[in-house]
Structure 1
Amino acid sequence: MAKKNPPPTEANSPATEPNDTLLSQLIGYALRRAQLKVAQNLVEQLNPFDLRPAQFSALLIIEASPGLMQTDLAGILAIEPPQVVTLLNKLEKLGLAVRVRCKPDKRSYGIFLSKAGETLLKQLKEIAAASDRDATAALSDGERQQLLQLLHKIYRRDDQATG
Structure 2
Amino acid sequence: MDSALDDLIGYAMRRAQLKLFQNLIERLSAHDLRPAQFSALAIIDQTPGLMQADLAKALAIEPPQVVPLLNKLESRALAVRVRCKPDKRSYGIFLSKTGETLLKELKQIATESDLDSTSALDSQEREELLRLLKKVYQA
TM range (shorter): over 0.9
If the length of structure 1 is used for normalisation, what is the TM-score?
0.84
What stretches of structure 1 of length at least 5 have no aligned partner? Answer: 1-17, 158-163
Poorly superposed stretches of 4+, deviation over 6 Å: none
How big is the shift at 1:109?
Answer: 0.2
- Partner of residue 96, structure 1: 78
* Cα deviations by residue, 1:101-151 (Å, 9 ceiling, x for unpaired): 000000000000000000000111111100110000010101100100110
- Partner of residue 6, structure 2: 24
Q: Which has the higher helix share?
A: 2
The structure having more radius of gyration, on CA atoms, is 1
- Partner of residue 86, structure 1: 68
How big is the shift at 1:48?
Answer: 1.1
> Identity of aligned pairs, percent?
69
- Partner of residue 119, structure 1: 101
Which structure has more relative contact order (CA 8 Å, sep 6+)? It is 2
Which residue of 144, 157, 160 maps to 2:126?
Answer: 144
Q: How many residue pairs are counted as aligned between the two chains? A: 139
Which amino acid is the alignment partner of residue 17 of structure 2? Answer: Q
If the length of structure 2 is used for normalisation, what is the TM-score?
0.99
